[in-house]
Chains A and B, each alone.
Chain A
Amino acid sequence: MGVVLLPYLYSGGVHKHWLILELLEDLGGYVIQKLVTGTEVNLIMLIPEKDVHLIKAISDKLHGVLLEAPLTGVEIAVVSPTLASHHLPHSACDVAEYLRHPGANTNMIGLARGMGRRVALSKDFERKLINEHDLAVFTFGSFSDCIINKKPKLFEGIEVPVVVTGGPELKTEEVSGADLYVGGIGRVSHRLRRGEEVQALESLNAGVSELVGKIRTELAKDPLAVLPARVMKEIENQIPEIHNVLSPGPITLQLKGLRVKLPYEAFHKRVENLEFDEGVFLSELANISRSKMKNYILIKIKYKSDVGFSI
């Protein structure tokens, strides 16, 4: 390995953007997501650290913008107590949308019975679904009594880091079970666009990026047997059917794995038998299971310490 890959977002015109794609391929970087909207293109990519200036040079030539995207390759669950109009679309959707700016993939999850104080609860299925993500952001309401005393029971059984948003300004330590609390984003019935609301969303992004940074540092101590981005590239090469999937992110990267949006029954064998240049099969490097989300395939890559080697 030895190559450090940095996440970047390029946004600019469609014209000649393939120059970036070609250079990135030559440099050994990866395109995580390509979104073409009209004449604009957004490329989320991983660029080798020492070659960033080369991509930057082309991007400047094309009059595009190259930004750091610290949440690239992170799948976040934005959990709302229910799907009722009390919680959605405002605040929860704004949170999800804002987290996408630095490159994260977000999924909205509305609990079936997460509302209220005494009656709030989560189902086993919901907990397992949330645990498939890298991180969960719970969007709560305006009462500190509820957030401190009643809602933390929804975090029971959640194994991924938990970020909580709510109206009052509380300390993270006051909310038991939370890894980060961000205030100023409570229950609202309008779009979050006032200065202090946008500021709160900014601090949420900063806090989540910091949390992800910590997970990455942990991961660097005991790295994964294979980079998720590399598995993504191999799937694109060896399973061409992925190109027919209409989801915006047919392969969603996670910090420790991937979600492949193909039906499990028909494709899990081919995913398991994915072969790398080194002659290793994916099933040796990762656990492949049926995702709780629809009928997708979930790949969780094993650590180098478990497999004994990394490629």
Chain B
Amino acid sequence: MDALETFIVEAAIPSEAGFYKKILEDNISSLKLAPAIGRLKVILRPEDSLFQMALLLRDIGSALTTADIAKVEAKVATEKEVRISIKKEQYLPELLRLLWKRYGKANIKQPDRWTVAVVVENPLKVAPFIENLVVADPRHTLHENLVDFAIRVTPEGFRVRYHLFKGQKFVFVASEDALKKEWIEEAGKMLEALERTKGGV
């Protein structure tokens, strides 16, 4: 599935669907969701105060451990420390935050941009632990961003909301009145249709 291979916005008046597509695009780009979303469909029915959205996510990466982003070695010969050689710098802030919290800022040294040294009593024991530390979980941030996205794009007055987030499927229905069962079922059918479609805009 390509990023945003299907992107449909439907409304009774086509120009209004156009306005809304722009709002969705802006929010997708400001939350950096474009690579994560595969297919997306939104149906707007302002006359019923109804907003329905179905969304299929692409494959999301699994949790990243320190081993994925750096090489971890235990140094015992000269000084007792665990030396971490960074390979992917983008996750360094998260790693540092975790290390500072656990070992204290005083025990973390950064001799250069690519190296972090953790001073500990028994490096041989600590090194495997640091290797398996979960540094970043794209799924977790994605969930947060998706919920934020849904709330941002929904008309503000539509405060009665239903959402379902299961695996790679996301359904969101919002209205200002009590939600009807058939509205949620319709959104479910939109999602099924999305799963069947392939490509197209």
Does the CB pair B176–A117 fall under 8 Å? Answer: yes
> DSSP class of B's interface residues: helix, strand, loop or mixed?
helix
Q: Chain B: which residue is nearest A169 at the CB level? A: B15
Q: Would you list which residues of chain B between 47 and 73 have a CB under 8 Å from chain A?
A: 47, 49
Tell whether A116 pairs with B176 under 8 Å between CB atoms, given A86-B155, A87-B156, A189-B30: yes
- The smallest C-beta distance from B38 to any residue of chain A, in angstroms, reads 22
Tell whether A145 pairs with B176 under 8 Å between CB atoms, given A86-B156, A188-B26: no
- The smallest C-beta distance from A123 to any residue of chain B, in angstroms, reads 16
Q: Would you list which residues of chain B between 141 and 195 have a CB under 8 Å from chain A?
A: 152, 155-159, 176-177
- Write out the residue numbers on chain B whose beta carbons fall within 8 Å of the beta carbon of A120: 157
Q: Chain A: which residue is nearest B26 at the CB level? A: A189
Does the CB pair B158–A116 fall under 8 Å? Answer: yes
In the complex, A115→B156 CA distance in Å?
6
- Write out the residue numbers on chain B whose beta carbons fall within 8 Å of the beta carbon of A61: none
Q: Chain A: which residue is nearest B158 at the CB level? A: A116
- Write out the residue numbers on chain B whose beta carbons fall within 8 Å of the beta carbon of A189: 22-23, 26-27, 30, 152
Determine which of A115, A144, A145 lies in contact with B157 in the assembled complex, contact meaning CB atoms within 8 Å: A115
Determine which of B19, B30, B49, B177 lies in contact with A167 in the assembled complex, contact meaning CB atoms within 8 Å: B19
Q: Would you list which residues of chain B between 106 and 143 have a CB under 8 Å from chain A?
A: none
Chain B interface residue number, banded:
20 to 34
Q: Is B46 an interface residue (CB 8 A)?
A: yes
> DSSP class of A's interface residues: helix, strand, loop or mixed?
loop
Does the CB pair B19–A142 fall under 8 Å? Answer: yes
Does the CB pair A119–B176 fall under 8 Å? Answer: yes
Q: Chain A: which residue is nearest B11 at the CB level? A: A143
Does the CB pair B176–A167 fall under 8 Å? Answer: no
- Write out the residue numbers on chain B whose beta carbons fall within 8 Å of the beta carbon of A86: 152, 155-156
Closest 5 CB pairs of A and B: A116-B157, A189-B26, A142-B19, A143-B46, A115-B157
Known: A118-B176, A167-B19. 8 other contacts (CB 8 A): A84-B156, A118-B177, A119-B157, A142-B16, A142-B20, A142-B23, A146-B46, A188-B19
Can you list 17 residue pairs at the A/B interface with Cβ under 8 Å? A116-B156, A116-B176, A117-B46, A117-B176, A118-B176, A118-B177, A143-B44, A145-B47, A167-B15, A167-B16, A168-B13, A188-B22, A188-B26, A189-B22, A189-B23, A190-B22, A190-B26
